[in-house]
Chain A
């Protein structure tokens, strides 16, 4: 692994070296390293680019890292990864994509992740997107996640895109069975002329299923963001979606929360707020000795923390 790849790995997976446990590192379209464990198997797909990650039922406290690194300009790829998480598991999955593009051509990674979460299993999914490079080449990521949560299962998705991605179109859809729970926490910061779109569709099909979709974002400069969140309550269930955005400079933000109740026992809430940093917040921090710019950074960092 070279220095650029190491930096990307650190940014997307907070890893300094190859991780413990199961992992698959994909670098510039190739599988660069892989490790499987007694409970977690990783196999190449035969029909499509990508891998199947199979986690045995009852696997506890194990983790899988599947970072994707791209440092080659002009590389475009679509990868399909499927996660089969057995009943009663308790596992952490860390995915992420780092693009370093110094060239003039577009580098693009589109990942389709499907999660089949077994009964009473618990999954924490962490995904970070990061890009850098001083070339004119675009850095594009379009992730798609499809989630099926079986009875009593629990999934927490934490997705972060803080820097450097020119364009992103994220789609997430989830179907929840009885007593299943989905928590989504999304953090996005765009600057320059970047564009980020996220689109959530959650079907609360099961009795006593619940979902909480929370997005916090900061749009700076001339960047644009669009946030769509649809929650369909098809049974006795509870759903909450919240979008909170700070707008700065000449940025544009659209937030469209949508809730549909198809059952008399569905309880659904949506909230959306867009606003600039309050002047009094800046003043307060300036009275503590921060400059206006430092105050702004603190407020933004805190908001996205």
Chain B
């Protein structure tokens, strides 16, 4: 279980001080949790705080009761946190197989690596030896990013807008990937998304706007408000949906 206690994150510049996250307290123990909210609301920052990429200004982070606030990215990864970037990184020279192998954390056979790629709808034999460089499209990179998270199989997997950059045609396949992951994952999935179809399979929905929690609840509790656009939460979001 992941617990955030009074997490705040402030950026100070000579001109101004901006609070990106304001006193966020949360417990995540459901299998599939979606975070949604308008752009600039603090979602990606929160994900990076969980992965250890950003250190919060104040507050504590607990994983299964252990305080991990001061642990590095590497240490958190080894404790079981995975993070799929919104914009995957390209590596000249490293192949898809290299990355999947690094993600798995042990030498794996071609067939196992191919299984992970097939899960995200990539024809494995076409991709396994491709370099993760500019020759791959944004959509392909996103799928490889997701395959890496599946290969890791950790107790907490955080996805930052997995749908961003994926064309509509591929999108329905992506939903299936998450539905499947939802069924068989042992840990928790935390997914930042604007997509109704992803929110629809969430056990819990968190709405984050202006750096604050606006709503936390089951999809039955939260979704109708979001879709109706009644809450003050975000017309921006409903526009997106």
Chain A residues near B (Cβ < 8 Å): 216, 244, 278, 280-281, 283-292, 298-299, 301-305
**In the complex with contacts A283-B53, A302-B98, A289-B105 CB distance below 8 A:** yes
- C-alpha spacing A290/B82, complex, angstroms: 12
Find out whether the CB atom of A286 lies under 8 angstroms from the CB atom of B74.
Answer: yes
20 extra A-B contacts, CB within 8 A, seeds A281-B91, A284-B85, A305-B93: A216-B93, A278-B89, A280-B89, A283-B53, A283-B89, A286-B77, A287-B51, A287-B53, A287-B73, A287-B81, A287-B83, A288-B99, A289-B152, A290-B74, A291-B74, A292-B74, A298-B94, A302-B93, A302-B98, A304-B93
Most buried by A among B91, B103, B152: B91
Find out whether the CB atom of B78 lies under 8 angstroms from the CB atom of A289.
Answer: yes
- C-alpha spacing A284/B73, complex, angstroms: 9
Find out whether the CB atom of B93 lies under 8 angstroms from the CB atom of A288.
Answer: no
List residues of B (130-178) whose CB comes within 8 Å of A's CBs. 148, 152
Quote the shortest CB–CB distance from A146 to chain B (angstroms).
30
Quote the shortest CB–CB distance from A303 to chain B (angstroms).
4
Find out whether the CB atom of A288 lies under 8 angstroms from the CB atom of B102.
Answer: yes
- C-alpha spacing A59/B72, complex, angstroms: 59
- C-alpha spacing A153/B73, complex, angstroms: 52
Main secondary structure on chain A at its contact with chain B? helix
- C-alpha spacing A105/B105, complex, angstroms: 45
Q: Which of A283, A292, A302 contacts B91 (CB 8 A)?
A: A302
Q: Count the B residues whose beta carbon is within 8 Å of the partner chain — how many?
A: 25
**A-chain residues with CB within 8 Å of residue B77 when the two chains form the complex:** 286-289
Shortest 3 CB-CB distances between A and B: which pairs?
Answer: A302-B93, A302-B94, A289-B77
Quote the shortest CB–CB distance from B215 to chain A (angstroms).
28
Find out whether the CB atom of A287 lies under 8 angstroms from the CB atom of B82.
Answer: yes
Query: Taking the complex as formed, is B92 at the interface, i.e. its CB lies under 8 A from any CB of chain A?
Result: yes
24 interchain pairs (CB within 8 A)? Answer: A216-B93, A278-B89, A280-B85, A280-B89, A281-B89, A284-B88, A285-B102, A286-B74, A286-B77, A287-B51, A287-B73, A287-B77, A287-B81, A288-B77, A288-B99, A288-B103, A289-B74, A289-B105, A290-B74, A292-B74, A298-B94, A301-B93, A302-B92, A303-B92
Find out whether the CB atom of A283 lies under 8 angstroms from the CB atom of B93.
Answer: no
Most buried by B among A216, A278, A286, A301: A286
- C-alpha spacing A43/B93, complex, angstroms: 40
Cβ-closest chain A residue relative to B78: A289
**A-chain residues with CB within 8 Å of residue B99 when the two chains form the complex:** 288
Quote the shortest CB–CB distance from B111 to chain A (angstroms).
21
- C-alpha spacing A288/B81, complex, angstroms: 9
**A-chain residues with CB within 8 Å of residue B74 when the two chains form the complex:** 286, 289-292
